[in-house]
Amino acid sequence: MPGQKKLFLTMFQAEMEDSHGDVLYLSGVNESRFKNGEITNYVYNENKAFLAHEASGIKELITYIGTINAENYKDVEEMASSVGELLKTRAKEQDDPQAVYGIISRKIKKVMKYIMEYAE
């Protein structure tokens, strides 16, 4: 159904934005833990660099999702598969942390489950 493809893109982008927010939240937790003396300077800086890289990668992918044309795909299953592979390739090209690949896969599965069970 045509509406499923647009719904997929809207929901997937929202899920990725939620993941970006989670990474930003973890950055704040890292900062607080450092200020409270719970973690060392080394651990703080490693976490900060990793989380910043992850947040940047996710943000770039969110922007890319906004450029995808739903009409280029015959159905939502083809779109989900293709978009997943495109984003994984982009993430790899950007040298994003491995966690970004996992986020992409989990979010696609989550959105597809919703669409197949509840939408239209």
Q: Model confidence at 101, in pLDDT bands (50, 70, 90)? A: confident
* Alpha-carbon distance values, 114 to 5, 68, 106 (Å): 13, 20, 12
pLDDT of 118 reads 79
- Do residues 61 and 90 make contact, with C-beta atoms less than 8 angstroms apart? yes
* Three-class DSSP category at 36: coil
CA angle 93, 55, 78 (to 5 degrees): 55
Residue 1 has pLDDT above 70, yes or no: no
- Do residues 111 and 72 make contact, with C-beta atoms less than 8 angstroms apart? no
- The residues near 8 (Cβ < 8 Å, ≥ 6 apart) are 70, 76, 79, 80, 83, 111, 112, 115
Residue 52 has pLDDT above 90, yes or no: yes
Instruction: For the chain, give every domain's residue range.
Output: 2-118
pTM for the full model? 0.87
Closest CA to 106 of 32, 18, 21: 18
DSSP 72: G
